[in-house]
């Protein structure tokens, strides 16, 4: 059996979005902290979904829509920039994993 590459595995992830109302995202990132006090900007290289990017000026940007809820950034960030609450599957949102 062939092992899947990371991009192939990420392609198997599906997102549930059946909620009837707007709900606060499960993760809020204060990029002001990333861009002012963080010396290493580790979230830009630990996130497997590339939700964190750094522009040509060295500024960190975050895009919640691509998040696969793995929690890596929550553990990697030591600056307090990541506010994380696991999504409640009962409200109809979150990631559905398919391990292929």
The residue behind tokens 């929690």 is 71
Q: Are the C-beta atoms of 92 and 8 separated by less than 8 Å?
A: no
DSSP output for 5-40: PHHHHHTT-EEEE--SS----SEEE-HHHHHHT-SS
Q: What is the pLDDT of residues 34-84, one digit of tens each?
A: 999 999 999 999 999 899 999 999 999 999 888 888 889 999 999 999 998
Cβ atoms of 37 and 79 within 8 Å: the answer is yes
The model's pTM is: 0.70
| pLDDT number for residue 96 | 63
User: Could you give all domains of the chain from N- to C-terminal order, each with its CATH number?
Assistant: 6-96 (3.30.70.20)
């Amino acid at each position: 059996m062939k092992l899947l590459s990371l991009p192939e595995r990420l392609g198997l992830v599906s997102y549930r979005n059946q909620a009837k109302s707007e709900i606060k995202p499960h993760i809020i990132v204060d990029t002001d902290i990333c861009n002012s006090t963080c010396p290493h900007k580790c979230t830009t290289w630990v996130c497997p979904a590339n939700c964190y990017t750094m522009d040509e000026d060295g500024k960190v940007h975050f895009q919640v829509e691509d998040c696969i809820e793995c929690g890596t950034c929550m553990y990697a960030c030591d600056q307090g920039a990541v506010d994380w609450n696991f999504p409640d599957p009962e409200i109809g949102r979150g990631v559905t994993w398919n391990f292929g």
